């Protein structure tokens, strides 16, 4: 491969790396700022706030004596408080000995502060990650709005080969005589979807200009690509949002469920897809992959998937979402990510699902680039999901992580004294070794899974 032909590929790598660095830097900055600001409010002095590790590229000292710096390696960060020996908040014996004679100076150190102040400062990092995620999800909810009830056509999706009588502004009342239920009733809407016959054209009864009219339209859930999952079979062959799959192995399809059944029944066999894209038609070969999917009732199920999301044959009209509802939805989204992450980890530990579901830095970087390429909204949502995962990971009771420090503080609260310094150093070493081992395992997954 000559250099000129390599340039587009190089540009793709740089885009992935840049997306990863931006996502990680935002998450780390928020996490460490949580430690810093709550520590400051609690009377603990921060000596260094560092975004990144290694040689310092830029730094300044503020009026409180904290050095803010950006380092060369943008894969993390830390806050070093007074009395800390290192970025992992190990105890600096010499600094603590110097401060011991002065109660005011001792109170400003991390290890001389009251237990409540230390606990709040350590817990603040993950909490700030969760808060940022909830606010992002809430912002997305407010930006997108909620679907108008009754289901109303906002914009028709371009579909090949079928003329539709639907118009923008039509409110759907019936499809083939089946009443369209309220969108608030999820059970009824699922039953409605199952009751709509898999055929086209279909007869729609709509409310148009305050009159009920009947028109012909497409099957409501066509094989139209709304989104492409990163690192999926669809992403590998460059399927794009807006594509419509019109046939599988030469058999015409018009319903997303037809595509789903064809993928599942192929059991990994390569499928030849006829794809319509902005008026052009071409063929693509796709090999479905086994995917462990979280289930609504809990647990996971392994299915053959191509990695696309579908939707309606039109963009539904939306209504504004109130701040309270948006914040509630954002918090629920964060809790959903936490539940799914813990469930997935538990199933991997028991062997119920593959450990290949655990991604390392390469996988996260590839996902960052893929989500960034799908637009700002997708990338920002990805940052929210990753921020939740980072906050959760830091709460694990592993020495050197925030959760490990909180366990030590819980021990101190119960016994009235902190763990022995020698024991602390040993546990810290074990914790760091465990974290490095987990990182290496995840990196192995990225390369070989």
Confidence (pLDDT) at 140: 94
- 32 given a catalytic annotation: yes
Q: What is the pLDDT of residue 7?
A: 41
CB-CB contact of 249 with 241 (8 Å): no
Catalytic option among 32, 212, 264, 283: 32
> Measuring CA to CA, which residue among 88, 20, 85, 83 is closest to residue 53?
88
Q: What confidence score (pLDDT) does residue 422 get?
A: 86
Binned average pLDDT, 10 residues per bin, the chain of 449 residues: 46 83 95 97 96 94 96 91 82 82 90 95 97 97 92 94 90 96 91 94 95 95 94 93 96 96 94 95 94 80 92 94 95 95 90 87 90 90 96 94 95 92 87 91 88
- First vs last C-alpha separation in the chain: 26
pLDDT at 9: 52
CB 234 within 8 A of CB 207: no
Spacing of C-alpha 408 from chain mean position? 30
At 3 the pLDDT is 43
| Closest by Cα among 159, 254, 183, 176 to 215 | 176
Left, alpha or beta for 161 (phi > 0: left; psi -120 to 50: alpha)? left
How high is the pLDDT of residue 6?
A: 44
Sign of the alpha-carbon dihedral angle for 333, 339, 341, 347: negative
pTM for this model (two decimals): 0.90
Give the pLDDT confidence score for residue 75 in this predicted structure: 84
Cβ-in-10-Å burial (0-12, 13-18, 19+) of 422 comes to exposed
Q: What is the pLDDT, as a whole number, of residue 11?
A: 58
Question: Angle 261-267-269 (CA atoms, 0-180°, nearest 5)?
Answer: 105
Give the integer Cα–Cα distance in Å for 312 and 256. Answer: 10
Q: Give the residue ranges of DSSP H helices in 196-275.
A: 233-236, 256-266
For the chain, how many residues are written? 449
């Amino acid at each position: 491969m000559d250099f000129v032909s390599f340039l587009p590929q190089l540009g793709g790598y740089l885009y992935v790396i840049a997306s990863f660095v931006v996502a990680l830097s935002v998450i780390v900055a928020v996490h460490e700022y949580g430690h810093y600001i709550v520590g400051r409010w609690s009377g603990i002095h921060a000596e260094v706030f560092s975004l990144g590790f290694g040689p310092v590229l830029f730094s300044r000292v503020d009026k409180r004596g904290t050095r803010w710096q950006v380092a060369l390696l943008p894969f993390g960060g830390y806050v070093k408080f007074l009395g800390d020996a290192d970025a992992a908040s190990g105890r600096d014996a010499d600094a603590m000995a110097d401060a011991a004679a002065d109660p005011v100076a001792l109170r400003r150190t991390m290890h001389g502060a009251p237990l409540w102040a230390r606990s709040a400062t350590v817990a603040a990092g993950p909490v700030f990650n969760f808060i940022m995620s909830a606010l992002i999800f809430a912002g997305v909810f407010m930006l997108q709005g909620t679907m108008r009830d009754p289901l109303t056509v906002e914009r028709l999706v371009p579909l090949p080969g079928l003329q539709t009588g639907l118009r923008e502004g039509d409110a759907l009342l019936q499809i083939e005589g089946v009443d369209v239920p309220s969108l608030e009733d999820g059970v009824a809407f699922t039953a409605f979807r199952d009751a709509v016959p898999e055929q086209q054209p279909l007869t729609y009864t709509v409310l148009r200009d305050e009159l009920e009219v009947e028109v012909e339209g497409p099957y409501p859930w066509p094989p139209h690509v709304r989104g492409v999952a990163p690192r999926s079979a669809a992403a590998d062959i460059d399927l794009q949002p807006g594509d419509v799959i019109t046939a599988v192995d030469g058999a015409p399809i018009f319903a997303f469920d037809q595509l789903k059944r064809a993928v599942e029944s192929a059991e990994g066999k390569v499928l030849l897809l006829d794809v319509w894209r902005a008026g052009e038609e071409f063929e693509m070969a796709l090999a479905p992959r086994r995917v462990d999917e979280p289930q609504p009732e809990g647990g996971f199920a392994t299915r053959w998937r191509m990695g696309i999301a579908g939707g309606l044959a039109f963009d539904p009209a939306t209504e504004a979402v109130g701040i309270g509802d948006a914040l509630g939805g954002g918090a629920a989204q964060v809790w959903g990510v936490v539940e799914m992450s813990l469930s997935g980890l538990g199933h991997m530990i028991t062997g119920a699902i593959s450990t290949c579901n655990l991604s390392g830095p390469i996988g996260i970087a590839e996902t960052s680039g893929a989500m960034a390429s799908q637009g700002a909204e997708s990338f920002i949502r990805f940052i929210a999901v990753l921020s939740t995962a980072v906050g959760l990971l830091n709460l694990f009771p592993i020495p050197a992580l925030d959760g490990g420090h909180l366990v030590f503080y819980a021990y101190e609260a119960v016994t009235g004294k902190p763990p022995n310094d020698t024991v602390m150093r040993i546990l810290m070493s074990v914790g760091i070794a465990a974290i490095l081992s987990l990182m290496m395992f995840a990196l192995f997954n990225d390369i070989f899974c």
